[in-house]
């Protein structure tokens, strides 16, 4: 019997809660076919010969591997997060080009692909995820895998001019043509991909989003990822959430603006603090009546750019509080640690404004989670960056340019003063889009398209 095989940088942890868009959808789909999930377990070993370990949970086989110290340094911190991540997020200035990074990327993907090869049977459908694993398809094809293989890029695909900043970029991007189906978050991402493929490879466009390369047909598609709204509603009904909600109501004074992000330079966090400062300059009467709760979970702390960003955020949040706050009120509450995921819907529901202003983002599920957490009878207002992939679906949010502090400040003012009926109307429209394109829709759309590609190829 054929099964689904998922290959990603990280797998879900069978011992922990699986809440979260990708994990929820993939776990559910894998259970239907008795599937397999292969990836890194998040650990770094002290030797140079890590092996795959297997665990079975709820009918799903998890094959995980540790990384060696060199793989962690040069593959994960190096090529994946100091070359690909910044360039794919339009930050070529932050990329670090060390030849050892690429060599380690090749070796690590080759090792992982060898382990995957032994666990893929005839008829299995293989789904590879995200930028860390781009060349996995090529390595599987080299080993003779003829199965249907799909790839989904969760982050933006940048313009060809930026891709060309990557040394040996043709090797990297041409490897995407080893897949049968390549999925993107937005039409813009696909258009950037198509421009690169037609200008820098020998592939031909033979139909809508369909290419021919070295005897193979490859399709591309747009599949915007969604969220599990049921998970959010369930979290809001828990006893823990009810207690946290009551605490908010007892202790809260004034209106709350909330931002929830990983500490990452793509999220526009310093620009957000500047916008809050501009807002209080425009609306001095809102001092002591409004505050920002900015949660920034630690991320990739060994990457130099993240260390600098952490220092900058500490300075900016301290500066605005020192300049504008007093003993009884701070304009910004900056929380630099992880917050329980099940607590976030309550935090979202108790905030009047959701401030989601990345400088560049593949989708941004926080925007959708904020909307889904609202009380439909008294919803908050989503302010969303026009540079987030979610902006293509959530047009009834207040869309802003996060580089324009004044425009974002005006949007905050508008959101806080928005009449109830307008808030309800916008929320209804946003929820309709979120429900129609949830994470289960996304998963089904991609796999159905991959199956259609398989039938077409056989025919």
Q: Residue 451 falls within a domain, yes or no?
A: no
- Interatomic CA distance for residues 56 and 418, integer angstroms: 51
404-459 pLDDT per residue, tens: 999 999 999 999 999 999 999 999 999 999 999 999 899 999 999 998 876 555 44
Q: What is the pLDDT of residue 155?
A: 96
Whether 200 and 301 map to the same domain: the answer is no
Whether 295 and 197 map to the same domain: the answer is no
Whether 108 and 206 map to the same domain: the answer is yes
Confidence of residue 251 (pLDDT cuts 50, 70, 90): confident
| Partners of residue 434 on adjacent β-strands | none
Whether 48 and 73 map to the same domain: the answer is yes
Domain around 307: 229-436
Whether 271 and 291 map to the same domain: the answer is yes
Whether 206 and 75 map to the same domain: the answer is yes
Instruction: Examine the residue annotation and report whether 361 is marked as an active-site residue of this protein.
Output: yes
Residue 28 has pLDDT above 60, yes or no: yes
Q: Residue 423 falls within a domain, yes or no?
A: yes
Number of domains in the chain: 2
Q: Residue 449 falls within a domain, yes or no?
A: no
Residue of 361, 396, 427, 438 marked active site: 361
Question: Apex CA 253: angle with CA 430 and CA 247, to 5°?
Answer: 80
Q: Residue 458 falls within a domain, yes or no?
A: no
Q: Residue 67 falls within a domain, yes or no?
A: yes
In this structure, how many other beta carbons lie within 10 angstroms of the beta carbon of residue 292? 24
Residue of 97, 154, 169, 392 marked active site: 154
Instruction: Examine the residue annotation and report whether 392 is marked as an active-site residue of this protein.
Output: no
Judged by average pLDDT, the poorest of 25-29, 155-159, 167-171, 436-440 is: 25-29
**Please, is 206 exposed, middle or buried when counting C-beta atoms within 10 Å of its C-beta (0-12, 13-18, 19+)?**
exposed
Whether 158 and 282 map to the same domain: the answer is no
Contacts of 147 (CB under 8 A, 6+ apart): 120, 122, 123, 124, 125, 126
Q: Residue 450 falls within a domain, yes or no?
A: no
Q: What is the pLDDT of residue 455?
A: 55
Kindly give the residue spans of alpha helices, DSSP state H, lying in 203-354: 229-236, 239-251, 269-282, 304-324, 344-349
In this structure, how many other beta carbons lie within 10 angstroms of the beta carbon of residue 226? 26
Cα 381 to Cα 15, 290, 302, 354, 372, distances in angstroms? 36, 14, 35, 6, 12
Whether 198 and 240 map to the same domain: the answer is no
Helix axes 405-417, 269-282, angle to 10 degrees: 60
CATH of the domain at 296: 3.40.50.2000
Whether 264 and 317 map to the same domain: the answer is yes
Residue bearing the bigger pLDDT, 231 or 273: 273
């Amino acid at each position: 019997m054929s099964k689904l095989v998922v290959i990603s940088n990280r797998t879900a942890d069978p011992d922990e809660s699986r809440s979260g868009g990708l994990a929820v959808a993939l776990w559910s789909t894998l259970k239907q076919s008795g599937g397999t999930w292969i990836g890194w377990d998040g650990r770094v070993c002290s030797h140079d010969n890590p092996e795959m370990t297997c665990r079975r949970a709820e009918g799903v086989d998890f094959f995980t591997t540790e990384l060696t110290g060199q793989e962690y340094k040069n593959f994960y911190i190096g090529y994946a997060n100091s070359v690909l991540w910044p360039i794919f997020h339009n930050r070529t200035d932050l990329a670090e080009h060390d030849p050892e990074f690429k060599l380690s990327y090749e070796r690590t993907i080759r090792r992982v692909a060898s382990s995957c090869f032994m666990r893929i049977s005839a008829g299995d459908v293989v789904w590879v995820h995200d930028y860390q694993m781009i060349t996995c398809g090529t390595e599987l094809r080299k080993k003779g895998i003829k199965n249907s293989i799909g790839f989904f890029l969760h982050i933006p695909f940048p313009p060809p001019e930026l891709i060309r900043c990557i040394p040996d970029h043709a090797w990297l991007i041409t490897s995407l043509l080893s897949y049968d189906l390549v999925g993107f978050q937005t039409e813009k991402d696909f258009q950037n991909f198509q421009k690169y493929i037609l200008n820098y490879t020998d592939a031909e466009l033979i139909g809508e989003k369909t290419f021919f390369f070295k005897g193979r047909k490859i399709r591309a598609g747009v599949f915007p990822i969604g969220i599990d709204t049921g998970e959010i509603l369930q979290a809001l009904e828990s006893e823990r959430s009810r207690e946290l909600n009551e605490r908010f109501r007892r202790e809260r004074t004034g209106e709350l603006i909330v931002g929830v992000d990983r500490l990452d330079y793509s999220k526009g966090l310093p620009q957000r603090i500047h916008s809050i400062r501009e807002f209080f300059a425009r609306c001095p009467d809102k001092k002591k009546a409004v505050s920002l709760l900015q949660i920034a979970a630690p991320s990739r702390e060994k990457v130099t750019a993240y260390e600098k960003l952490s220092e900058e955020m500490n300075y900016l949040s301290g500066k605005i509080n020192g300049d504008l706050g007093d003993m009884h009120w701070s304009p910004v509450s900056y929380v630099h640690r992880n917050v329980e995921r099940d607590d976030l819907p309550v935090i979202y529901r108790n905030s009047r404004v959701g401030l989601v202003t990345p400088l560049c983002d593949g989708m941004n599920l926080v925007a959708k989670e904020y909307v889904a957490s609202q009380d439909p009878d008294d919803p908050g207002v989503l302010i969303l960056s026009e540079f987030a992939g979610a902006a293509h679906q959530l047009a009834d949010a207040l869309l802003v340019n996060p580089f324009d502090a004044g425009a974002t400040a005006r949007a905050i003012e508008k959101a806080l003063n928005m009449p109830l009926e307008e808030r309800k109307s916008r929320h209804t429209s946003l929820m309709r889009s979120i429900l129609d394109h949830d994470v289960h829709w996304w998963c089904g759309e991609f796999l159905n398209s991959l199956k259609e590609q398989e039938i077409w190829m056989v025919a």
